[in-house]
Structure 1
Amino acid sequence: MAPLNKNNSAVKRIMQEARELANDPSPEYSAAPLEDDIFEWHCTLRGPAESEFEGGLYHFRILLPAEYPFRPPSLMMLTPNGRFETDTKICISFTSYHEELWQPAWGVRTAIIGLQGFFPLKGKAAVGIGSIEYPISERKRLAALSRTWTCPHCRETNLALLPDPAGTEQAPAVEATPVSGPSNPPAEAVAPAPNPIASPAVIDRVAGPTRAQTASKRQRPPILLDTAICFLVVLVCGIVFRRMF
């Protein structure tokens, strides 16, 4: 068997990484090679939390050289974001701009996670070519728009390519339009009222005396009537006692 050349090694490595990403997906990104060119990947990346990019979804290309993994990839952002120029190779330490820093043990996942970490860093101090510095308000606006941005090649929105995790809401907050009248919380946010008959004490206080309690009160003579009966008993006993003696 003839020894594998670097190109064959690259194909094996790329397919291995593609299987690993498919078998171990992340809620932070989704990436896969193109069907017609495994040396080009498309990735959708979630914006870093607690930053102006939070809630945003960003689509970019990962271009792998024929000598991969012995040479680093190139990254090109496609979704407008206010941090990196679109359709421009980004200059970061693990890209083709800095081959001397690349390690063959790294891979596509390394590049994706690294790019996410560069989002909140400030301007050209962190990134050279391909860096832009938009106002925070504009970055937040682009983050909201990025969710419905559609890749011309993938033909799907970023949200379809990387859905929000179940039970979470990653979309940037949108200020609600004020309405007239009293402010009421949404129905789903209102806690259910406690059942007024759940507690015996509440039953006694709210529902009043039960039938047994009412009947008991009716059968029990008043205090004055008890006193009068006792007086009459004593008087009759006194009269009888005198007649006997």
Structure 2
Amino acid sequence: MAARPLNKNNSAVKRIMQEARELANDPCTDYSAAPLEDDIFEWHCTLRGPSGTEFEGGLYHFRILLPAEYPFRPPSIMMLTPNGRFELNTKICISFTNYHEELWQPAWGVRTAIVGLQGMFPLKGTAAVGVGALEYPVAERKRLAAISRGWVCPKCNCSNLELLPDPSSDASSAEASSSEPQSTQASVASSTAPTTPATPAVISDVKQKAPADELPPARVDAISPPMPILAPRPQRPSPPPAMLITPINTPPPPRTVSPYPNGASTAQLQQVDGPKRDAPSSGRPPILLDTAICVLLVLLFALIAKRLL
């Protein structure tokens, strides 16, 4: 099959080539992924089953189909190895596939789809329901996990174990060899440490031969009797002194002396003496009269000014 011509200026092609280089240099032993030689928009991936589940030890091969608008649209995932969790050759409905484009983010990539698919394996119950989901018994899933290691992809012509070998024991041996020098150093340090403890007889002998001010601080502290630690006595808070309520002597209101004899009120005196003489508005002319006089004066001045001019 002829390879699809690539436009290296296309943003999708640039992104796919960048992710292919990153995954090729990825030392992770849980998955391996690479695009096909004749179509970089189709990836084949091999995933290791999650540890601590019935899929532990299994190797599962699946396809990742990238759209032409990648990474602005999500990929599609199709499982190829029998596993008892997902249907074969069916697009799986999970949150980072084409079934949920509203949840996809362009910052995600092929690695996100692989890691997310591995996290979907252990889900059970309602969390595992969706398009392409299966509910096989645990024993059947373990059986399929055991035979999945030798499953061969017809497109890659390789078994899952060849595509994703088991991690070697070099790392564990390296850790063991690195821990040996530390244990050797610890044993040497313990063997060279002084084994003669300081007994009370030795301390008393030193105390007799040297004065206390020449002894090291640690020895002086060891010889001197411990200082007793006295806890402070709890003291109950004394109640506040009782407040003496004393009556406040308020002065009586001042008595007003009426200037009128026999306490007669002002109204009564006005009735007797008549209205006051200095009452306002008693001798003022009405306002209408003032206005009329002002108008006449203005007309008079206007007539005089007309004759003069």
TM-score band by shorter chain is 0.5 to 0.7
Match of 2:33 in 1: 31
Matches within 5 A, 1:40-59: 40-59=42-61
For residues 57-111 of structure 1, what are the alpha-carbon distances to aligned partners after superposition, in whole Å with 9 as ceiling and x for unaligned?
Answer: 0000000000000000000000000000000000000000000000000000000
- Name the residue aligned to 1:140: 142
1:18 to 11, 20, 37: 20
- State the secondary structure of the residue aligned to 2:133: coil
Mapping 1:103-118, distance limit 5 Å: 103-118=105-120
- Superposition deviation, residue 167 in structure 1: 1.8
Match of 2:208 in 1: none
Distance 2:26 2:8 in 1: 26
Please report the TM-score for the alignment, with normalisation by the length of structure 1.
0.65
Per the alignment, in what secondary structure is the counterpart of residue 62 of structure 2?
strand
Task: Give the partner amino acid of 1:66.
Answer: A
**TM-score, normalising length from structure 2?**
0.52
Structure with the larger RCO, 1 or 2 (CA within 8 Å, 6+ apart): 1
Question: What CA deviation, in whole Å up to 9, does each residue of 1:1-37 have, x standing for no partner?
Answer: xxxx998100000000000011123100000000000
Structure 1 gap ranges (5+): 169-245
How far is 1:127 from its partner? 4.2
State percent identity of aligned pairs.
82
Alignment of 1:144-223 (within 5 A): 144-167=146-169
**Residues 10 and 118 of structure 1: is their aligned pair in 2 closer, same or farther, counting only changes over 3 Å?**
same
Quick check: 1:100 aligned with 2:105? no
Q: What is residue 173 of structure 1 aligned with on the other side?
A: none
Give 1:87's aligned amino acid: N
Aligned residues: CA RMSD: 1.7
Partner Cα distance (1:73, 1:158) in 2: 22
Q: Kindly indicate whether the alpha-carbon contact (under 8 Å) linking 1:124 and 1:131 is maintained by their aligned counterparts in 2.
A: no
Q: Secondary structure at the match of 2:139?
A: helix
Q: 1:113 to 1:127 in 2, by over 3 A?
A: farther
- Residue 46 of structure 1: how far off its partner (Å): 0.1
Q: Secondary structure at the match of 1:60?
A: strand
Cα distance in 2 for residues equivalent to 1:105 and 1:139: 34
Distance 1:6 1:95, change over 3 A: farther
Q: Secondary structure at 2:41's aligned position in 1?
A: strand
Q: Does the 8 A contact of 2:58 with 2:149 survive in 1?
A: yes
CA–CA distance in 1 between the matches of 2:115 and 2:123?
14
Mapped partners of 1:46, 1:158: distance in 2? 9
Post-superposition, which runs of at least 4 consecutive aligned residues in structure 1 deviate over 4 A? none
Q: Equivalent residue for 2:65? A: 63
Instruction: Indicate the SS of the match to 2:162.
Output: helix
Residues 123 and 160 (structure 1), Cα distance of their counterparts in 2 relative to 1, 3 Å cut: farther
1:76-87 aligned at under 5 Å gives the runs: 76-87=78-89
Instruction: Give the Cα–Cα distance (whole angstroms) in 2 for the partners of residues 106 and 42 of structure 1.
Output: 18
Decide which structure has the larger Cα Rg and report it.
Answer: 2
